[in-house]
Structure 1
Amino acid sequence: MTRLLHLVIALVLSATAAAAMPVRLKDLVEFDGVRSNDLVGYGLVVGLNGTGDGLRNSPFTEEILTNILERLGVNITGEQVRPRNVAAVLVTASLPPFARAGSPVDVTVSAIGDASSLLGGTLVMTPLNAADGQIYVVAQGTIIAGGAVVEGAAAQVTQGVPTSGVIPSGGTVEREVAFEFAGLTTLRLALRTPDFTTAARIEHAINATFGGPVALMLDAGTVELDILRTGLPSPAHALGHVENIMVEPERRARVVVDQHSGTIVMGEDVRISRVAVSQGNLTLRIEEAPLVVQPNPFSPGETVIVPRTGVAIEEEPGIGLAEVRGGASLSEVVAGLNALGVSPRDMIDILKSIKAAGALHAEFIVR
């Protein structure tokens, strides 16, 4: 087993040990109605150093530039505008819950034309719309791009993605989302990972805190909170009291493998029944060495190519037939698999085979 896998297993052991400890309720659930809203807008970036859109290939850039100039009182009807310092972009943002008019939000700017870089550009005032078509945020500011472009006469090097960037606090909330939170009488808590055991523990913890039937589990992913029975003056007071309640979540047994990097992550509750495993590598080698046969000088005949193929099969020594006894804990499962002495990628194939044999008692996820 490689040093990388030992490191991954050590991280898993420490992470699963921490997972068994109680966590705050706010880290387990989402409060119904308390959510962000996605916004999008179409705008123009100016001030680029010759890295903007080619207006012949991106006619929509010329159209929005003409519209902006005309709104500013500049009449360019019939004129040929061919600057290389502007770029059309899509602007996205997330409107946080309870955002008030005048609050700043971060925005992301992404080129949609053939601009090669947005470094040093400035986003012109751009309205951002929600799914209902209303304008909630107006964005403007200098873009911070996450890449760089270096080019010469015959070569160009690009690092990162210079055609996308962010504007910290570049948007200003102009319209608030209509949500009468203060008038709620009940509130649902939605579990991020639905589980009946966890939902029951949340219900019990809330009721024990308030000393009465305040919470009710509706299903594996929902717990309903009765605001009136809490005796607190408002839903905000109730959530402020509830979200810090400590609850021990229940986790399903999972094995997650990444075939690209060879990473294996196993949960604390993974169990393996007693099973025998044999593993080895088979290599097939084929080598072509054709032979050219020519006729004697001044004799009739033709040059002939005679095929010659060498075939060999090599089998690397495997681990034989090794027994992995039933694991009572993650550490014993890891110890049994480590005894096989195989690489992480071979370990993935072994775990697949153990799962197919019905000896791996966990959800097996391959990414």
Structure 2
Amino acid sequence: MMTAVSPAHAERIKDLANIQGVRDNQLIGYGLVVGLEGTGDQTTQTPFTLQTTISMLQTMGVTLPPGSFTTMQLKNIAAVMVTTTLPAFAQSGQTLDVTVSSMANAKSIKGGTLLMTPLKGADGNTYAIAQGNLVVAGAGASANGSSTLINQLSVGRISAGATVERTIPNNIAQLEFINLELKESDFSTAMSTVKEINKAFGQDIAFARDARVISVRPNNTDGNRVGFLAALESLNVNRAKGSAKVIINARTGSIVLNQSVTLDKCAVAHGNLSVVISTAPVVSQPNAFANGRTVESKVSQISINQDPGNVIQLGGGTSLSDVVRALNAVGATPQDLLAILQAIKAAGSLRADLEII
């Protein structure tokens, strides 16, 4: 059963566009988790865990005797990747949540402690340092070859586990123009946004560079750039009606129609064809004095059933609710609707673009 959802047209600029240069940055680091209960990496299969441990011990002033590397058993240590997101305007000393993921063959990192791990950006510079005790939501147990597992034991999280050490400079307060980037390129939406900005601030301070970028010259004379941006983001804009689209997920059978989809009059015939093959064993048993042997064979029966396909006339629909009502009248499953929508589109009765993902 398909359901229509009523759209809302007026949206805030904050929901339609992003401010150019105000963005998050991904950070990543490689480190060690210690304190595991024998569920760490098997160093015979993951030599990088052993190498990292030796390097860490050397930085701590611990020198291992020659030849001891091959006999080390580090079942309580696991090599991990640490990831987080550095938000815009993050300052030194601010804390971030981090995700810790095992990268080798550790069975579990639950109960472990992440050692000090530098987190680097795409430019190779260190922007944060992570360390702390892991929280793993999963649980598992095993005995005598049987095991059970709930969620993942190889991924954990540390709340406020990283501290920002380096800030990313942002000169938005000194820019002559502030650029807004629409999340979806559309000339009509860009012009509507420009109109609302100029109307709200009483002068022509905004213009559209293209279908996505809108340049705004701040008109605040008091230097309060934050207040200007807050007022700018709160403006409501009537977003232009998007192009008609039908999104089809061929793997799951999901179908999504947007508000612009319309339907012309057409007729649809839909019927079900099923093929059933059943196989039953047949045993031939000779009598006791025939000196024969028992023979087993199989007998298969094939039946083809086809339900009658009724021709249904679909009336023209000028709204999404009309289209949904017409498609529900067909009485087909979502998988069948995939083929029906493609056939309606080929017949020229579906006023929308089909996009299969």
2:203 — aligned with what? Answer: 212
Determine helix, strand or coil for the equivalent of 2:316. coil
1:88 — aligned with what? Answer: 79
1:241 — aligned with what? Answer: 231
Shift of 1:224: 0.8
Say whether the 8 Å CA contact 1:184–1:235 is kept in structure 2: no
1:116 — aligned with what? Answer: 107
**Quick one: which of 192, 215, 219 aligns to 1:224?**
215
**Quick one: which of 113, 129, 132 aligns to 2:123?**
132
Q: CA offsets, 1:132-188, max 9 Å, x none?
A: 111100000111223222111221112211111211111100011122222111111
1:28 — aligned with what? Answer: 16
**C-alpha distance in structure 1 between counterparts of 2:283 and 2:107, whole Å:** 55
**Quick one: which of 62, 68, 86 aligns to 2:50?**
62
2:191 — aligned with what? Answer: 200
**Quick one: which of 47, 55, 73 aligns to 2:61?**
73
Q: Relative to 1, partners in 2 of residues 1:304 and 1:116: Cα closer, same or farther, differing over 3 Å? A: closer
Q: CA offsets, 1:282-323, max 9 Å, x none?
A: 12344567989999xx99xxx9999976443210233x1111
Say whether the 8 Å CA contact 2:33–2:114 is kept in structure 1: yes
Q: CA offsets, 1:82-132, max 9 Å, x none?
A: 121110001111111110110111111111110011111110000011111
Point out where structure 2 has 5 or more consecutive residues left out of the alignment: none
Q: Relative to 1, partners in 2 of residues 1:156 and 1:309: Cα closer, same or farther, differing over 3 Å? A: closer
Say whether the 8 Å CA contact 2:36–2:77 is kept in structure 1: yes
- Kindly report the root-mean-square deviation, in angstroms, between the aligned alpha carbons of the 2 structures: 2.7
Q: Relative to 1, partners in 2 of residues 1:293 and 1:241: Cα closer, same or farther, differing over 3 Å? A: closer
2:91 — aligned with what? Answer: 100
Say whether the 8 Å CA contact 1:101–1:175 is kept in structure 2: yes
**C-alpha distance in structure 1 between counterparts of 2:147 and 2:186, whole Å:** 53
**C-alpha distance in structure 1 between counterparts of 2:78 and 2:298, whole Å:** 61
**Quick one: which of 161, 164, 177 aligns to 2:152?**
161
**Quick one: which of 303, 307, 311 aligns to 1:321?**
311
| Residues 1:171 and 2:162 aligned together | yes
Say whether the 8 Å CA contact 1:286–1:311 is kept in structure 2: yes
Say whether the 8 Å CA contact 2:136–2:156 is kept in structure 1: yes
Letter matched to residue 284 of structure 1: V
1:359 — aligned with what? Answer: 349
TM-score (norm 2): 0.90
Q: Relative to 1, partners in 2 of residues 1:308 and 1:144: Cα closer, same or farther, differing over 3 Å? A: closer
Q: Relative to 1, partners in 2 of residues 1:135 and 1:276: Cα closer, same or farther, differing over 3 Å? A: same
Say whether the 8 Å CA contact 1:283–1:313 is kept in structure 2: yes
Letter matched to residue 23 of structure 1: E
* Worse-matched range after superposition: 355-364 or 332-341: 355-364
Q: CA offsets, 1:195-224, max 9 Å, x none?
A: 111111111110101111111111111111
Alignment of 1:217-296 (within 5 A): 217-227=208-218, 229-231=219-221, 233-250=223-240, 251-286=242-277
Q: Relative to 1, partners in 2 of residues 1:220 and 1:131: Cα closer, same or farther, differing over 3 Å? A: same
Say whether the 8 Å CA contact 1:187–1:226 is kept in structure 2: yes
Q: Relative to 1, partners in 2 of residues 1:73 and 1:226: Cα closer, same or farther, differing over 3 Å? A: same
Say whether the 8 Å CA contact 1:45–1:87 is kept in structure 2: yes
Q: Relative to 1, partners in 2 of residues 1:289 and 1:42: Cα closer, same or farther, differing over 3 Å? A: closer
Shift of 1:23: 1.7
Say whether the 8 Å CA contact 1:232–1:238 is kept in structure 2: no
Say whether the 8 Å CA contact 2:261–2:351 is kept in structure 1: yes
**Quick one: which of 317, 329, 346 aligns to 2:336?**
346
Shift of 1:263: 3.2
**C-alpha distance in structure 2 between counterparts of 1:196 and 1:232, whole Å:** 33
| Residues 1:43 and 2:31 aligned together | yes
Point out where structure 1 has 5 or more consecutive residues left out of the alignment: none
Say whether the 8 Å CA contact 2:134–2:157 is kept in structure 1: yes
Letter matched to residue 255 of structure 1: V
**C-alpha distance in structure 2 between counterparts of 1:249 and 1:146, whole Å:** 42
Say whether the 8 Å CA contact 2:172–2:178 is kept in structure 1: no
TM-score (norm 1): 0.87
**C-alpha distance in structure 1 between counterparts of 2:49 and 2:295, whole Å:** 65
